[in-house]
Chain A
Amino acid sequence: MAMSQKWWPRALIGSAQILVLVSLIVAGVSLLGSSTDQRILTVFLINLIAAIGLQIYTGTSGIISFGHVGFMALGAYGSALFTADPAIKAMGIPNAPDFILTSAMGFLPAMLIGVGVAAIVAAVIGRVFVRLGGSAAAVATLGFMVMVFTVLSNAEEWTRGAKAFSGIPAYTTMGWCMGAFAVILVIARLLRESDTGLGLRSSRDDAIAAQASGVDVVNSRYVMWVASAACSAVAGALYAHYIGAILPKAFHFELTFLIVTMVIVGGQSITGAIVGTLLITILAEALRRLENGFSLGSFSLSEAPGLTTAVLALLIVFTLTMRPQGLVGRWELDDLTMRWLAKRRPAASGAALPFEKDRERNPAA
């Protein structure tokens, strides 16, 4: 056919569009924003990577995971342990094995170790986890997150337990964040549009029809699960090297809740994860200021702790009842621009024909 085209260029075009938009935000904030704004921006980019990481699995399989923050923790500790100054480690974790105590690696190799650990753990538990759906998957992944938390809190010889592990070199710059974001964005889009991703998305809608079309649902989920865990670990490593000190509590319910909200509110696509992250970041910042107390006319509140969490919870409830597919649903930015263009040139494309009202007919009648 004349209009034969490959599937992957669209994934690259879509990634490029998003990259341009995010770069504009980054450039704007870097040039005009205060140092607080730039801190928010860095955390935004790290959360963006975490949300895309989760979306690689959730967006294609339709299965929510509350466990990905556990992979972030593995990435963070993996990278932190191998980069921190040996002198600091000799004081903080004197009983750790030698290969950790003596190691003073650069950022990239250490990050890859963290990512590798997360990927291996994901590969081991994934064989079971990818067979679960719905509430079973939610409970199991939540259990995994809690297990990682518990292990890190008790592995005192390696992690200082529940106490902060500090002295992590501040390697995370805007350049690293943007670089990692760009790479993971492209990987996520290519995975999503690949045969595996397409098949998995079809199985989310109808597993029987997908299998009858040859889709290997379990193995497709497995591929996405491992890739998704690895990308989450990158976010964890960036976080550790940005904050400089980490503790297991940082990778617990609060962060899980935040990332999951971003993905659910945003939608099923990679673009959705980005829209969700942007929205939640702005909202969370606004709310955080209110949490410290505010006054409205004669009404004043000295403190409102937990306001952010409460609003996020309401947002999830609102999304799941009013718009379960999320803000952007299944669409990517490039889909939306193509459809918008097609609508502006009605004669040029079949996609632009006026919406044909579905005929209500009952096959059984």
Chain B
Amino acid sequence: MNFKASDVVMKFKGLTALDGVSLDVAKGEIVGLIGPNGSGKTTLLNVTSGVYSPTSGSFSMGAESWSSISLRDAARRGIRRTFQNIRLFNSLTVLETVEVASAWLGTGDRRENALNALDELHFTQHRDRIATELAYGMQRRLEIARAIAGRLEFLLLDEPTAGLNHGESEEIVTIVQAIRRRRGCGIVIIDHDLNVIMNVCDRVVVLSEGKVIASGPPQEVRRDPQVIKAYLGS
């Protein structure tokens, strides 16, 4: 389903984190969201996934539209996400972690669906280990496995390669492409690693101070003077 956010404003007390941001993501499209620190990238993800209610603006996906949504309802509509600061369950095993999502958002056997999601993320072992005891890179991958188990229409990845080495980042790129190919969902990816963004995205949206300052194919955005000034050149 196509996702659309229109004219979203998010104010925290005196600070305007999002100042009329609109974002369209087509089914099967991968959109990169970049911008300097504090430009509103994660805030946009948070209002989209229901962590915050925006001050104003509206969202739509398929036939449904809303102006604010709870985390859980967003998840039930298939808007799924990972977190920049990894949020795993520290008393659950790897398999149980993914089973939470397949139990609450999936149809059919929760364990089978969880195992399939783990396979998709190349989690061939360690399934009985405690999630938060995994190596850092695997924790990032486990977050993605949890986010794709159960209903998935639109995937939001908040810095999936942060803290990963080159090889691990490459693996994430392959995984994201495979998810798009298999699931056909729209994907928004925030990342500071421009190689990742340029390799995996069909389109890049640049945020600066809560506004979209550029949007287009990666190669084009890279040459945009405004973007160079606000972000790339710095």
Residues of A within 8 A of B (CB): 1, 3-7, 195, 198-199, 201-202, 204-206, 208-216, 268, 325, 329-330, 338-339, 342, 349-351, 353, 355-356, 358-359, 361-365
Contacts and interface: CB of A to CB of B under 8 A. Distances in A.
Interface string B101-116: 1011100011110011
B111 A7 contact: yes
Contacts of B122: none
A245 B112 CA distance: 53
Given A198-B99, A213-B105, A356-B135, A342 B91 contact: no
Contacts of B80: 212
B159 A350 contact: no
Contacts of B119: 1
Most buried by B among A201, A213, A330, A363: A213
Given A213-B105, A358-B136, A195 B110 contact: yes
Given A206-B89, A351-B127, A216 B72 contact: yes
A209 B131 CA distance: 13
Interface of B: 49-51, 70-72, 74-76, 80-81, 83-92, 96-97, 99-101, 103-105, 109-112, 115-116, 119, 124-129, 133-137, 146, 150, 159, 162-163
Contacts of A204: 91
A202 B92 contact: yes
Contacts of A353: 125-126
18 contacts: A1-B119, A4-B112, A7-B99, A199-B104, A206-B89, A208-B83, A212-B74, A213-B101, A214-B101, A214-B150, A329-B91, A351-B127, A351-B128, A358-B135, A358-B136, A361-B136, A363-B85, A363-B136
Contacts of B88: 205-206, 209
Contacts of B115: 1, 3-4
B97 A202 contact: yes
A213 B71 CA distance: 9
Contact of B89 (A202, A338, A350, A364): A202
Nearest to B111: A7
A198 B100 contact: yes
Given A195-B104, A212-B80, A215-B104, A363 B91 contact: no
Contacts of B84: 363
B33 to A, nearest CB: 17
A116 B155 CA distance: 45
